[in-house]
Structure 1
Amino acid sequence: MKFLQSLRLNKKLLRELDYVTIIIAICIVTFGCINIYSATVKSSGDFLIKKQIAWMIFGLITVYFLLVFDYMVIENYAVIIYWAGIILLIIGDFVGKVNHGANCWINFGPISIQPSEFAKIGMIIMIAKKLDEFEGKINEPKNLLTLMFYAAVPMILIVIQPDMGMTMVSFFIVLGIFYCIGLKRKIIIGGLISILLLIVSVWNSPIMKPYWKERLTSFLSTKGNEATSGFQLAQSKLAIGSGGIFGLGFGKGVQFNSVPEKQTDFIFAVLCEEWGFIGALVLLLLYGILIYRLIKIAKESKDIFGTVICVGVVSNLLFSIFQNVGMTMGLMAITGITLPFMSYGGSSLLTSFISLGLVLNVGMRRNKINF
C-alpha cells in the first residue's frame, strides 16, 4: 500500500500541471493515428494502428510515472541514464538490425527499439546536469570541452551506424542548448566551420555509401531520377499537391499509396493529400502552441538543469518538425527523421512522450510548494 501511495501525485502539484500541453500532444497523436490508419488499412488492416495506440497509452503511463518523481531525482541518475544510452548504441552498432543500410534497431523479442532515440534523451539530461554543476559557465574552456565530450560520444556512435538524420537532430539539440545558455558567438561559428569540415570528411569516406549520397542529394533535383533515388520525393510532392486546399477526404488519398515509408517518415504527405492545406495548417498550429508552451516552461524553470532539459526538448522538436516537413516537400534532404507525435513507430512516440514528461515535470515544480 505504501508503494502505491508513493506513486500518487499530490493535489497541489497537479494544480501546477500544464494540462493544455498534454491535451495538445494527445490531439497531435490522435491526428497521427487517423492518418496512419488511412495509410495502412489496405495493406496491414488494423494491426499497425493497434500497435500505435498501444504505444500511445504506454507513453501516457510513462509520462505519469515521470511526473511522480521530482526531476531533481532524475539529475542524480543522469550518469546512469547517459551511459545506458551509449551502451545501447554500441550494441546497435555491432549487432543491431539493419534498416535502410543503418544498424539502428535492436530486437527484444517482438519489440524493436531505436537506441539513438533514447540516447539523445540521455545526452540532454547529461548536458543539463553538467551545466547545472558548472552554474551555466559554458564559456570556460574546461567546461566547454567536457560538454563537447558528452555530446560527441553518442553522435560518433550514431554516425557509425550510419544514421545521418539522427546525427543532425543530435547536433541541433546541442547547438540549441549551447546558444540559449550563452555560448560566445565566435565559438559557435568556429564550431560550425569545424562541423562542416567533418561533414566533408565523412562524405568522402567509406562510411558514406553511394546510395546514401544519392538519397541525401536527390531533393536538389528529381528530374531524371523519378524511378530511382528521386521516386520517394516525387511521389510525396504529387501527394501533397493533389490535396489542394481542403484535401481529398479521409480514406480517399490515392497518391500516398505510392509513397514509400508513408506511415513513418512521410506521414505529412498522407495528411496533405487527405486533409489538404487546411489540415497541414491545423497540425502546424498545434505544433506552434505546443512549442510555445514548452518555451514558457523553460523560461519559468527554477534552475539551470530544468531550463536545459526544456531547451533540449524544444530544439529536438523544432528541428525534427522542420526537417521532416521540409524533406516531404523537397526543401530539405531526405534523412529518415520521423514527425514527432505523428509518425508511426514505438521508439519515436515513446521518447516524444518521455521528453514531454520531463518538461511537464520541470513546469510542475517551478515554484516552491508548501505541503
Structure 2
Amino acid sequence: MFKQFRLDVRLLKEIDKTLLISMILLILYGTFNIYLCTKGQYGMTFVKQQIFWLVASLIALYFFITIDYTIIFNYVPILYWGTVVLLILTMIPGIGIVVNGARGWINLGICKLQPSEFAKLVIILMLARKLDEMDGRINDMKNFFILAFYCIVPVIFILKQPDMGMSMVCFFIVLGIFYTMGFDTRIIAGGLASLVLAIIIVWNSGLIEPYQKMRFTAFLNPEVNDASTYHLNQSLIAIGSGGIVGSSPSLTENGSSTYAAQNVPEIHTDFIFAAIADQWGFIGAILLLVLYGLLLYKIISIARTSKDIFGSVICIGIVSYFLFAILQNIGMTIGLVPITGIALPLVSYGGSSLLTTVISLGITINVGMRRKKIHF
C-alpha cells in the first residue's frame, strides 16, 4: 500500500535543489533564532514545539513530493470544504479557543491548530483547479463569480474570528493570481476599493478590539510614547542596536539575551525579524532576504515552465503569499506598514504556519519535478 509513496530515483534529479535547500536553511535559521530569543525566559519550550512541527512538516513534504501533483487535483474540493468546516468549528465554544483576541484555533490537546493557515493554501488550490477547468478564461463573467465565491466563503469565517491579518493575506493571494492570469485591471482596481470599504466596515463593526486598532494605527504616529506604539518603538530600537554585525549574540547557554529578546513583545512570532536584526545585524537581515530571494526566483521559474494551468496557478499563489507576508511582516517591524499578526514564512514560530507553508512548497517542488515527461 505504500508503493505509491516511493520516490523513483529518476525523479530525484528533477527536484529543484536550490528551492529545497533555501527552504531548509530558512527553517533552521528561524528555529535557531526562536531558541536564542526565548531561551532566557522559556528555555527549550518554544524550540521543542517548533521542532515537533518541523518533523511533521518534513513528513508532509515527502508525502506531497512523492505523489503526482495532478492527483491532488481530484481531492481539492474535499480539502477546501474540510477546511471550511474547521473554520466553522473554531466558532464553537469548547472547540475553538481564543488566542490574542481571535477565536481562530482548535485545541487538539498536544497542540493547537489554526485552520485559517490552511485556508490560504486551499484557496490557492481551488482557484488553480477552477482556472484549469476554465482554460484560464478569467474574464468571463460567469467564471469570475465562481472564482469569487470560492474566495469569499473561507474569508467570511476568518473575518468572523476576527483575523484581519489572514484576511489580508488571502486577499493579496487572490489579487496576485487574478492579475497574473490577465484579469481586467479595472475590476482589480474595483476589488482594491472594495477591500478598503470592507476594512472600514469591519473597523466600525465592533469586531476589532480597541487595543487591536491601536496596534494597527501605531505606525502613523511612532513618536507617540504610549501603549499603542510600544511594540513598534521597541522593535525599532532592537533593529537599530544590531548595527552591521549584531549586538551581542547569545550563543552560549548562559549568555545574556539581546535587547529584542528582553523588550519586544511577541518576539518569536510577529517580530522575529527584530530578533534577527538585533542578534545578527544588517548582515543577518540581508542573509534572510537573499534566501527568500532565491526561494521566490525558483518558484517563479517553476510557474513559467509548468506543464499545465493548475501547476502554474499554484506557484503564482504561493509567490503572492510569500511576497505579501515578507513585505508586511518586515515592513511592520520597521514602521512602514500597520502592525498585523502575519507571520514571517518559515521563520516565525507557529506550527500551523510552518506546516502549511512547507506543504505548499512541497507541491511547488512537485510541479517542477513533473514539468516534463520522464521516460521509465
TM-score (norm 2): 0.96
Q: Matches of 2:373 and 2:59 in 1, distance apart?
A: 26
Q: Matches of 1:191 and 1:348 in 2, distance apart?
A: 27
Deviation at 1:207, TM superposition (A): 1.9
Instruction: Say whether residues 1:302 and 2:310 are aligned partners.
Output: no
For structure 2, list consecutive stretches of 5 or more residues without a partner in the other structure.
251-256
Instruction: Say whether residues 1:32 and 2:30 are aligned partners.
Output: yes
Q: Deviations over 1:88-117 (max 9, x none)?
A: 111113332111111011101121011100
Deviation at 1:202, TM superposition (A): 1.7
> Hey, what does 1:13 align to over in structure 2?
11
Q: Matches of 1:249 and 1:137 in 2, distance apart?
A: 55
Q: Matches of 1:328 and 1:205 in 2, distance apart?
A: 27
> Tell me, what secondary structure is at the counterpart of 1:189?
helix
1:76 to 61, 74, 90: 74
| Residue pairs, 1:179-258, within 5 angstroms | 179-226=179-226, 228-251=227-250, 252-258=257-263
> Hey, what does 1:348 align to over in structure 2?
353
Q: Report the RMSD for the aligned CA atoms in angstroms.
A: 1.1
| Residue pairs, 1:1-371, within 5 angstroms | 3-95=1-93, 96-226=96-226, 228-251=227-250, 252-371=257-376
Deviation above 4 Å: which 4+ runs of structure 1? none
Q: Matches of 1:138 and 1:153 in 2, distance apart?
A: 19
Return 194-203 or 35-44, whichever deviates more. 194-203
Q: Matches of 1:5 and 1:193 in 2, distance apart?
A: 51
For structure 1, list consecutive stretches of 5 or more residues without a partner in the other structure.
none
Q: Matches of 2:11 and 2:121 in 1, distance apart?
A: 24
Question: % of aligned pairs identical?
Answer: 52
Q: Matches of 2:330 and 2:192 in 1, distance apart?
A: 24
* Contact kept in structure 2, 1:320 and 1:338, CA below 8 Å: yes
Deviation at 1:50, TM superposition (A): 1.8
Q: Deviations over 1:305-359 (max 9, x none)?
A: 0001001111111100000000111111111111011111111111110110010
Q: Deviations over 1:100-146 (max 9, x none)?
A: 11101110112101110011111111111100110000000000000
* Count of residue correspondences: 368
Q: Matches of 2:17 and 2:290 in 1, distance apart?
A: 17
1:125 to 1:230, Cα distance in 2 relative to 1, 3 A:
same
TM-score (norm 1): 0.97
Q: Matches of 1:312 and 1:93 in 2, distance apart?
A: 27
Q: Matches of 2:199 and 2:45 in 1, distance apart?
A: 40
Q: Matches of 2:158 and 2:357 in 1, distance apart?
A: 19
Deviation at 1:298, TM superposition (A): 0.5
* Contact kept in structure 1, 2:18 and 2:294, CA below 8 Å: no
* Contact kept in structure 1, 2:222 and 2:335, CA below 8 Å: no
> Tell me, what secondary structure is at the counterpart of 1:230?
helix
> Tell me, what secondary structure is at the counterpart of 1:199?
helix
Q: Matches of 2:248 and 2:306 in 1, distance apart?
A: 43
Q: Deviations over 1:21-69 (max 9, x none)?
A: 1111111111111111111111111121122122212211211111111
Return 250-259 or 174-183, whichever deviates more. 250-259
* Contact kept in structure 2, 1:256 and 1:269, CA below 8 Å: no
